Amino acid sequence: MVGGTASAILDTAERLVQTRGFNGFSYADVATELSVTKASLHYHFPSKAELGESLIDRYSERFARALDEIDAELDTPGVKLDAYAGLYAEVLRDQRMCLCGMLAAEFETLPSPMREAIIRFFDLNEAWLQGILAQGRREGTLSFSGTPRDAARSIIDGLEGAMLVARARGDLARFRSTARRLVASVVGAG
Q: What is the pLDDT of residue 165?
A: 96
Q: What is the pLDDT of residue 2?
A: 47
Instruction: Answer yes or no: is pLDDT of 131 > 70.
Output: yes
d(CA 30, CA 37): 9
Among 135, 136, 174, 145, residue whose Cα is nearest residue 158: 174
Q: How far is CA 67 from CA 31, 53, 81, 87, in A?
A: 33, 21, 10, 9
d(CA 176, CA 35): 37
Q: How far is CA 15 from CA 34, 91, 186, 188, in A?
A: 13, 10, 33, 37
What is the pTM for the complete model shown?
0.93
Q: What is the pLDDT of residue 189?
A: 46
Q: What is the pLDDT of residue 187?
A: 87
Per domain, the residue ranges of the chain are 50-184
End-to-end CA distance of the chain: 55
Q: What is the pLDDT of residue 168?
A: 92
The amino acid at 161: G
Condensed to tens digits (0 to 9), the pLDDT of residues 140-183 reads 999 999 999 999 999 999 999 999 999 999 999 999 999 999 99
Instruction: Answer yes or no: is pLDDT of 190 > 50.
Output: no
d(CA 136, CA 45): 43
Condensed to tens digits (0 to 9), the pLDDT of residues 82-113 reads 999 999 999 999 999 999 999 999 999 999 99
The pLDDT of 33-52, averaged and rounded, is 95
d(CA 103, CA 145): 30
| H or E segment to which residue 99 belongs | helix 99-104
| Cβ proximity of 99 and 51 under 8 Å | no
Q: What is Dmax (Cα atoms) for the chain?
A: 59
Question: What single DSSP character describes residue 162?
Answer: H
**CA 117 to mean position of chain CA atoms:** 12
Please state the CATH superfamily assignment of the domain spanning residues 50-184 in this structure: Tetracycline Repressor, domain 2 (1.10.357.10)
Q: What is the pLDDT of residue 188?
A: 65
Q: By three-state DSSP, how is residue 18 classified?
A: helix
Condensed to tens digits (0 to 9), the pLDDT of residues 47-68 reads 999 999 999 999 999 999 999 9
d(CA 160, CA 189): 27
| Cβ proximity of 152 and 183 under 8 Å | no
